[in-house]
């Protein structure tokens, strides 16, 4: 049995959503801002990972919105991350790595500071770049009416 986003909708994990070119542009603008900000010198590795994580999450949110959905509040980040397999066809290892960063971010952001290494912050940044590029390519191929020609 193959699972789909429409199954998630029936389970209440997603809601139908009608997006716009402006919403997608705004989400991708946040992605670009956060990609740049995550490279800011002097920030802790925890915070740089958090910013890069948000860039990746907003890219995934844009893809989910273009597919006609938004995640419900319960497990929001988890669902947005997992949806990448159904929207842009992200490889399982990419989704798994992104989810590992979600868990790391939660511990570092809410329970204990200093758990993120500079290497992990850089890896999250690289993953966010990869996801941004995948989402933009997918948007251009499947929903060209939602994107402008200024990005990857």
Cα torsion 92, 37, 138, 17: sign? positive
Q: CA separation (Å) from 20 to 17, 24, 92, 105, 146? A: 10, 6, 28, 30, 7
The mean pLDDT value of the chain amounts to 92
How far is Cα 112 from Cα 123, in angstroms, rounded to an integer? 20
The pLDDT value recorded for residue 108 is 58
- Encode pLDDT of 8-36 as tens digits: 999 999 999 999 999 999 999 999 999 99
When pLDDT is averaged across residues 80-88 and rounded to a whole number, the result is: 96
Q: What percent of the chain has pLDDT over 90?
A: 81
pTM of the model: 0.92
Q: Where are the domains of the chain?
A: 18-144
What pLDDT was estimated at residue 121? 94
pLDDT band at 2 (very low <50, low <70, confident <90, very high): confident
Q: What is the pLDDT of residue 95?
A: 97
Q: Please state, in angstroms and rounded to a whole number, the distance separating the CA atoms of residues 118 and 111.
A: 19
Q: Per residue in 46-66, pLDDT tens?
A: 999 999 999 999 999 999 999
Assigned CATH class of 18-144 = mainly alpha
Half-sphere exposure of 115 (CA within 13 A, CB side): 13
* pLDDT over 70, % of the chain: 93
């Amino acid at each position: 049995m193959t699972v789909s986003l429409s199954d998630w909708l029936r389970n209440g994990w997603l809601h139908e959503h009608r997006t716009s070119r402006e919403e997608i542009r705004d989400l991708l603008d946040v992605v670009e801002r956060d990609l740049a900000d995550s490279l800011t010198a002097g920030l802790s590795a925890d915070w740089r990972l958090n910013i890069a994580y948000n860039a990746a999450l907003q890219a995934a949110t844009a893809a989910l919105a273009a597919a006609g959905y938004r995640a419900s509040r319960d497990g929001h980040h988890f669902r947005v991350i997992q949806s990448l397999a159904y929207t842009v066809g992200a490889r399982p290892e990419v989704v798994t790595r992104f989810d590992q960063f979600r868990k790391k971010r939660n511990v570092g952001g809410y329970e204990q500071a200093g758990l993120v290494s500079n290497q992990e912050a850089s890896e999250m940044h690289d993953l966010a770049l990869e996801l941004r590029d995948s989402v933009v390519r997918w948007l251009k191929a499947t929903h060209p009416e939602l994107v402008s020609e200024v990005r990857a």
